[in-house]
Amino acid sequence: MNTSNIFRTWVDVSRTLWRISRNHNDPTRPKGLIYAQTFWDGLLVGTESGSDRDEIIEWFKNIFGMRWTQDQHGPTILLEARGDELSHLPVRWEELDQEEVKAWQNIPFQPRFSPSSTTRFSCSPCPAPAPFPRGQPPVLAFHSFKGGVGRTLCALATTLAYSDHGKKILLVDADFEAPGISFLFKERTPDPDFSFSDLLIMLHADSNPEGSYALASAKGAIAGQRLGNVFVLPSFRDLEDSISLEIRPEHLVTSTAHPPFFLTDALSRLGKELNVDLVIIDLRAGLSELSAPFIFDPRIKRILVANPSWQAIKGTRLLIQEIGNTLNVNQWPVDSLPALILNQLPGAMMPKMGEAGRGELLNVMEESINATFEQAFSQNRRQSAVESPSTTHTQDTDDLLLTSAEEGISRVYLSYNEPLAMLPKDWEETMETIRQSLFPTKIWDMLQLWLPATRIPSPATKKGSQSGKTLDDRRTLLRDFADRLVTAEGSSQNSLEKIGFLSIHPLISLAQDHAAKLPMVVSIGAKGAGKTYSFLNMARTEKWANFVKKVKSDLDCNIEAPILPVLWSKNANTDEMIRLQNGCRDLLALQNTVSGPLFELPRELATFQTQSHDLYVWRDFWADAIARSLGIPKTDSINPFETLLRHLRKNNLNLIAIIDGLEEIFPEFTTSEAQKMALRALIQEIPNWLKTLPGAPLGIIIFIRQDMVLHVIPQNRTQFTDRYKNYALRWTWKEALELAAWVCDKSEATNDLWDQEFSNFTESDLMTRMRPLWGIKLGGDDTNEAKSNTWVLSVLSDLRGRIQARDVVRFLSLAARDSVGNTKTTDRLLIPAAIRSAIVPCSQKKVDEIGEENTPLKEVFNKIQGGNDSQTQIFSPCTFENLAAIGLNQEQVGLMEENGIIFHDTSEKKYHFPEIFRHGLAVERPVGARPRVLSLMRQARNSDRR
């Protein structure tokens, strides 16, 4: 209990008791305490006959502390005022018999913001309102904590968004104190036949308990108030009547003749009578009892509108808390979580197209709302009802469940728009001004994410697209194809051609930027980003013009330079690479001019790296290695690279050398100075040097792992990586989704999931497009679990938003494997249980592969995985001291950070392990850590957008 409150008046006592009463799980609450009624002259406490009054008194003492006193007249609460009448609140008692107790317990719930003077401590749970019957339209309510934030504007923009998509709307102005829509409608229709206030009066007087007569009257009158696809219900017929509202919404709430949410039922039924698709209500701003019946109805779709002012954000958080508290107190399920429109954002705060991330202030603002959102609706987190008996993994993945609340509030950002600051008085002109602002389009995109039922069916689900194939056939096709693709680097050329090639943004940039000039590029990517896969696809095209055409078919390229594989990964087929080298030799007409022995670069490197630490000696070595790969010999009198250059210039030829597999040749790059020097000469000196050669007939593309760059470039590292950032094999979340869609179509498990326009889709389009693969949400599409797109990308990425292609493909293979044989879930390829279970083996395989390839990280992994007791077990999050306790030093912790294995949250000074590494490293998650991880995932996603 909080005893630090200042009690100045009897109202403070009433509010305190009301707040306490909302915690139904309070184990200290005494039995027999029924109610407390607070008046200006005393507190009346109702107790059940035979209850222990001493126990109840002790409970009150714990609340009020030393303010609870006893005098000759009985208990008294001391207040902060002067004079007996103001400084003493006498406490009186009333004993109730069983009938009276039952009557108090059965008083119906009343939705309200302000506390009642009567606080009930013993009441029967109020049953949740029945869902709207099938055929009745949903009700969408717009509300804001403060006025002036553009709430009415957003309601009108949403009305336009729906009506322009052919939907019919009933638009209700429920702001009786400042009826903005009504004034606008009055200019268009000076003498409306029916108003919302008329409906309230009729419903209150209707002898029919369902208000059927009132609704029949309303239907006939409103029919003449239709503007296009919109029926308008103003607050009053005559706006001068707004000074006197005889029947208010709360009157219907407090009426014992009607259930608590009778009014929203009536509006939805009226919408059905008018045959509309949606009822939109513009509510009064603030914590107004005019708005409470709509805001607290769990069936209502609520959109909260705020601007970036401190008052609006804090008030919005308060509204979210109040909605969550009401649902929690009554133990009601949430049919729809609130959404948010952040309006009037200055240009500096708006997310920029084509740029990563958003302003820090906007991030902080949104995360404060998300934190409140998670807390208010945390009670609604639950296991999906759709499970599969075929799941083979038994690990507890409950910590991977993600609800809509934990995923973050659905929101849309709207910038400050000067033409909207003073709208015209004419209805049509106003609506056209709003339409031109593009606000309806932005809001429509958010609504498709938030209300999936409004979406247009995906083309991937069209009739006949999978004729002749059973669901299990298609799951098997996806499993087998994805499994082959994971190991495609070692496949034959014919096999790889059948698989195909997805052109992602970095490769498109590489092709576009070098359609007319030779590339001098270092392509940086993490393990599993597709370096070797890209290298092989490039090598197998044999000519640069062929590669450019393969990446982007509409590009014209006049560079016919042969492509020479100089060094390759051990996963590649050596015989094929030698064949491609010989083919390049033929294209350059070198077969009759030189005839050197087979050049084995790995063997030469193993010998040479022990002999030299000189940067320029290494530069010359790499230059000669390119020439020797073509069979040009090295002798005391012949410089192979000079011979190659003379030949290229003499015959007006070009050549592009490509290199991969450096991590296998230089496994000790973190400690060996010779290996660091060799790598630095290759990625830094060679490209710079080649650019200076007269005529520059030789280009080069080097595929290298990101952590190697960080270790071998000691100075100006950021400048180096920025130079090649457009070609870095870094997968955004959208590109990862595109890869998943592409794999599904290539496997023939789906049709039309992917097309050339995929990268241009909005977030709502992507959710629709991916529906045949894993549904809209991880559970059923009407549950409050997270959207499937978000969940999958969250668990596969590190906490900086980075995701690897191999993990996506392997995840599809594993999830498809565990979906085969399931007959319960038939609306998607991958069932929820299989999706959840796939992350564990995916993580284990990723850790194993990195350990095999990266010796320094293997040592780190062994130490983390070695913890098997309370002293050495690592949890996420953890401190540096926890990591040091198992023998990790600062350099090793830094190495993990560089590779995305841990993320240091500076605000709480702890390290978090992303899910894609946590399971493979056997790192546990303690109670209470999960919400912060989800917050970091959201922030990572925001920083990933471009």
Q: pLDDT per residue over 889-910, tens digit each? A: 998 998 898 888 998 888 788 9
pLDDT of res. 195:
92
The pLDDT of 296-319, averaged and rounded, is: 92
Determine the Cα–Cα distance for residues 240 and 256; give it in Å rounded to an integer: 31
For residues 659 and 702, the answer to whether their CB atoms sit within 8 Å is yes
For residue 352, pLDDT beyond 90: no
Neighbours of 802 (CB within 10 A): 23
- Give the chain's mean pLDDT: 84
In the structure, what pLDDT confidence band is assigned to residue 113 with cuts at 50, 70 and 90?
A: confident
Q: How far is CA 392 from CA 388, 658, 817, 819, 837, in A?
A: 10, 42, 10, 10, 8
Neighbours of 634 (CB within 10 A): 16
pLDDT of res. 390:
38
In the structure, what pLDDT confidence band is assigned to residue 401 with cuts at 50, 70 and 90?
A: low
The pLDDT of 63-78, averaged and rounded, is: 87
pLDDT of res. 262:
85
Least confident range from 61-75, 357-371, 714-728: namely 357-371
pTM value is 0.75
pLDDT of res. 679:
94
Q: How far is CA 660 from CA 32, 499, 565, 878, 895, in A?
A: 77, 21, 8, 36, 22
The pLDDT of 901-930, averaged and rounded, is: 85
Interhelix angle for 212-222 vs 262-273, to 10°? Answer: 50
For residue 498, pLDDT beyond 80: no
pLDDT of res. 946:
38
pLDDT of res. 433:
92
More confident site: 814 or 423 = 814
Two tokens, residue 277: 């698709």
In the structure, what pLDDT confidence band is assigned to residue 594 with cuts at 50, 70 and 90?
A: low
More confident site: 635 or 230 = 230
In the structure, what pLDDT confidence band is assigned to residue 595 with cuts at 50, 70 and 90?
A: low
The pLDDT of 306-332, averaged and rounded, is: 88
pLDDT of res. 688:
92
Count the alpha carbons within 13 Å of 273 in the hemisphere toward its beta carbon. 19
pLDDT of res. 395:
40
pLDDT of res. 129:
85
The pLDDT of 395-407, averaged and rounded, is: 58
pLDDT of res. 207:
79
Least confident range from 61-70, 753-762, 834-843, 876-885: namely 753-762
pLDDT of res. 1:
41
30 DSSP 8-state letter:
P
pLDDT of res. 234:
94
Least confident range from 374-378, 566-570, 673-677, 861-865: namely 374-378
Identify which of 53, 49, 64, 61 has the alpha carbon closest to the alpha carbon of residue 30. 53
**Phi, psi dihedrals of residue 34, rounded to the nearest 5°:** -100, -50
Q: Which residues pair with 731 in a beta bridge?
A: 803
pLDDT of res. 388:
37
For residue 463, pLDDT beyond 50: no
Helix (H) or strand (E) holding 359: none
pLDDT of res. 459:
42
pLDDT of res. 453:
47
pLDDT of res. 446:
82
In the structure, what pLDDT confidence band is assigned to residue 732 with cuts at 50, 70 and 90?
A: confident
pLDDT of res. 411:
87
pLDDT of res. 354:
41
For residues 197 and 245, the answer to whether their CB atoms sit within 8 Å is yes
Helices (H) and strands (E) in the chain, counts: 41, 20
pLDDT of res. 126:
75
More confident site: 465 or 517 = 517
Highest-scoring range by mean pLDDT, 37-46, 352-361, 710-719: 37-46
Least confident range from 111-120, 238-247, 318-327: namely 238-247
Question: Tokens 């669901």 correspond to what residue?
Answer: 471
683 DSSP 8-state letter:
I
For residue 209, pLDDT beyond 60: yes
Alpha helix (H) residue ranges in 874-929? 880-885, 890-898, 915-918
Determine the Cα–Cα distance for residues 93 and 74; give it in Å rounded to an integer: 10
For residue 254, pLDDT beyond 60: no
Determine the Cα–Cα distance for residues 390 and 387; give it in Å rounded to an integer: 9
Identify which of 157, 149, 230 has the alpha carbon closest to the alpha carbon of residue 444. 157
More confident site: 928 or 300 = 300
Two tokens, residue 482: 């994805």
For residue 344, pLDDT beyond 80: yes
The pLDDT of 478-492, averaged and rounded, is: 77
Determine the Cα–Cα distance for residues 546 and 538; give it in Å rounded to an integer: 9
Two tokens, residue 576: 């094929």
Which residue type, as a one-letter code, is found at position 445? D
Q: Is the peptide bond before 877 cis (omega within 30 degrees of 0)?
A: yes
pLDDT of res. 40:
87
Return the exposure string of 205-243: e unless at least 16 CB atoms fall within 10 Å of the residue's CB, then b. Answer: ebeeeebeebbebbbebbeebbbebbbbbbbbbeeeebe
pLDDT of res. 588:
92
Identify which of 134, 149, 157, 171 has the alpha carbon closest to the alpha carbon of residue 272. 134
Classified as helix, coil or strand, 312 is helix
pLDDT more than 70, % of the chain: 86
